Amino acid sequence: MPGREDPTAPGSNIPDPAAPGPAAPDPTTPDPTAAWLTAHGWYPGRDIGDVLAPRVARRVRNFHDQGEELTPPRPALSFLRAYGGLRLPLSDRVHLVTEPDGGHVEIAADVAELAAHLGQRLFPVAYETYEGSVHLVDETDRFFLLHPSGTYYLGTGAREAFTNRRRHTLVDAWSLKA
């Protein structure tokens, strides 16, 4: 089955629904997601807005060439301004690259179908190097993953999405309602 051979692939570490939920965060313990981001080039106040327009335009043009219109929602642009251009390791072989125009190229129909199901515009904001999986953000700041093994909800907000992707905590996106 595609994606199962890689330890970071969705479904490779399915959480036990009977297991107790996570403990409340300890305010004296550093946030591991923030530490991971910082170790790979992110910092508070980071803004790459001055180099973002051509990257966004390439993906918009790519969707147009596939017969779909694409307009980035505000949360996607905010995410890209803060996190764009990072190369974040998910494993020794797989990196999450926060660029809107990488990964699988022929995804416009899949994105349009998911957007129609969710009732929200979606925009690509990142991709994974191993299989070209694409990360998307909707108008309400929800993050999704288009992966060869399925389409997954990663969480709301960048930090939750980063954390859930690193933990392999994924929910079938088609189970969500508009």
pLDDT band at residue 113 under the 50/70/90 scheme: very high
- The answer to whether the CB of 138 falls within 8 A of the CB of 119 is no
- Specify the pTM: 0.82
Q: What is the pLDDT of residues 20-53, one digit of tens each?
A: 444 545 555 679 999 999 999 999 999 999 999 9
Q: How many other CB atoms are found less than 10 A from the CB of residue 121?
A: 20
Cβ burial, residue 68 (10 Å; 0-12/13-18/19+): middle
Report the pLDDT averaged over residues 129-145: 97
**Tokens standing for residue 40:** 């790979």
